[in-house]
Amino acid sequence: MFNMDKTDKIYVAGHNGMVGSAIVRLLKKEGFENIITANHQELDLTEQADVRRFLANQKPDYVILAAAKVGGIGVNIAHPAEFLYKNLAIQNNVIHYSYESGVKKLVFLGSSCIYPKDCPQPIKEEYFLSGKLEPTNEGYALAKIVGLKMTEYYNKQYGFSSVNLMPCNLYGPNDHFDSQTSHVLSALIKKFVDAKEAESAEVVMWGTGNARREFMHVDDMARAVLFMINHHKTQEFINIGWGEDISIKELADVIERKVNYNGKIIWDHTKPDGMARKCLDVSKMRALGFAPNIKLSDGIDEMINIYKQLKLKTQK
């Protein structure tokens, strides 16, 4: 049952990205008739005047902020200023002008990287701002922290309503497979599929493989967004995930078996692991009645197939 009317105007910022496209797919499937989108050529979310004009003209009822500059550990280390500036600019503009244009409710999507590097596991919401951040993605994390506090303050000062969700690592259709900018799961799939097809004797992996991560399919994230708009009634942010994690080495072993790669895996210990472990406590999410349902093994199968199909298209 939706509190949102099927004719309400819903602006999905970042609709071409992995998360945004999953949300648009689900909205259409559920029968929402008035979905607003704009690609980067039509609207640069870092440009204040353009965002102000767009939201003033469109006057959406709901805004789902799925737009962000994202990437894996390597690009985060190389471009911290860009990750901080662009994400701050996007968030500041969309949140502020959503408030100014009379939006009923905004959905802000954060990240598990907002939590301290050394906080207890699994990570509870109350551990927020209790310690130092993981330095390898600090720029991105700081931007997400500011966005989260911005929605809190806009509610406190202006009564502006938002749903604030902190997902674990996401993967799924429309993720990048570029080795420099992709998320870890897609990066590993690319490595092993390429190595299998090239009959490479070895695959070199970053770090020790001991770091542990929690993964959730982006279609489950889309379901969580719509569910929480209708069922999460407070401003308190809430973790979204499985509450289960896997080591990067274990993940590599799963993907290696699934693509039937028989070469050697070499772990480059000169490269960073990032945060040692990120596993969310999702008890608040489950208490509200939501749970993901796409198993990691099934999701990996899907992503392997997606990457193989992309390779076939580029080879034609």
Residues involved in catalysis: 140
Which residue(s) pair with 107 in the sheet?
A: 64, 163
d(CA 250, CA 75): 23
Quickly count: other Cβ atoms within 10 Å of residue 158's Cβ: 10
Q: Is 5 exposed, middle or buried (0-12, 13-18, 19+ CB in 10 A)?
A: exposed
DSSP string, 230-279: HH--SS--EEES-S--EEHHHHHHHHHHHHT--SEEEEETTS---SSEE-
Q: Are 280 and 125 in contact (CB under 8 A)?
A: no
Amino acid at 306: I
* Cβ within 8 Å of residue 153, ≥6 positions away: none
Angle, CA 12 vertex, CA 9 and CA 17 arms, to 5°: 160
d(CA 213, CA 219): 18
Quickly count: other Cβ atoms within 10 Å of residue 312's Cβ: 9
Angle, CA 217 vertex, CA 211 and CA 223 arms, to 5°: 135
d(CA 164, CA 145): 11
d(CA 136, CA 126): 23
